[in-house]
Amino acid sequence: MLFSCSLMMGTLISISSMSWFSAWVGLEINMLSIMPLMKNFNNKLSSESTIKYFITQAIASMILLFSVLMFSNSMDFMFKMQSMMKLFLNTSLFLKMGAAPMHFWLPEVISGTSWLMTLTILTWQKIAPMILLIYSSMVNYLMLSVIILSSLIGGLSGLNQTCMKKIMAYSSINHISWMLAASMYSTSTWMIYFCVYSTISVTLILHLYMNNIYFMQQMSKLSSKNKTNKLIFSLNFLSLGGLPPFLGFFPKWLTIFNLSTNSMYYLSTILITLTLLSLFMYIRIMFTSMTMLESESIKMSTNNLPLLFLYIMINTSISFMSMMLSTPIF
């Protein structure tokens, strides 16, 4: 409980600080707080993942502190940074959040942690680096390169994975590209995207945790007694992929609108095209989970149909309402 509170406190210190040094202190508190939570005596791989996470975050913090000390005479967020120091600062933040090509640590760390820590690293741990990046960065070639590489690597690398944790990690890398693209012109769009992504991730990961699923081969045994639950779980993957008219399509539509409004047509086209790779990965998982065992029946209990209809209505209503607006207010 103590480490969980300090974990949240470190993030809040970083995003509310008025100096880069205070932001660095908040990131350090956050890093030192999550390490005891990652340690799991029942999992032999947790120690290795904790060490990998510590080394990576320590290197990123060292680069961040170096860039901050170079500007120690001007400590507010709006100071004019030289291009080289800005490169170091942004690189350290990209490394902390696991954006490509600084993503090498994320799948390896995720694969050795519990599902709860996986959810924490994929959602909460991205808040502080992302907001600090919004404070410091403008649209530049580094940002555009990271967005394209994250979308490409997140889609391609997840195609040959069978470990569900690594699949969620590469999915997160792909969504980082969309969140970075959303943050370039509208902070509110980024907030909407992050909230929707976190909501879908919580639903999926809790489902995987409750059913003790770690590999794709286990998906066929998912909730064989409750086919409605299995169908809802499968539709969540389509929502995570941003397939219309599900909820996950709404923030991507806002992002594409903002990019198109600012004449970033090429970036929008690249993101949409590369997202098809991730969508194929999600559909592959969905087909695996929907495969029935020999002992299963194709019949579905009518008692769960209202729950299924309610889920579909909630997922689709927001997307339909947003598309009815000619100009988003975001």
For residue 215, the cross-strand partners are 163
Q: Residue 137: CB partners within 8 Å, gap ≥ 6?
A: 86, 90, 143
Cα dihedral 231, 237, 242, 243 sign? negative
Q: Is omega for the bond preceding 328 within 30 degrees of 0, making it cis?
A: no
Amino acid 104: pLDDT: 92
Q: Is the peptide bond between 245 and the residue preceding it cis, with omega within 30 degrees of 0?
A: yes
> Which residues of the chain carry a pLDDT beneath 50?
78, 292-295, 297-298, 300, 326-330
d(CA 300, CA 227): 6
pTM of the model: 0.88
Measured distance CA(102)–CA(326) in Å, rounded: 38
What ranges do the domains of the chain cover? 1-137, 140-330
Spatial distance between the Cα atoms of 206 and 174, rounded to a whole number of angstroms: 21
Given 3-state DSSP classes, what are the helix, strand and coil percentages for the chain, each rounded to the nearest 5?
Answer: 75, 0, 25
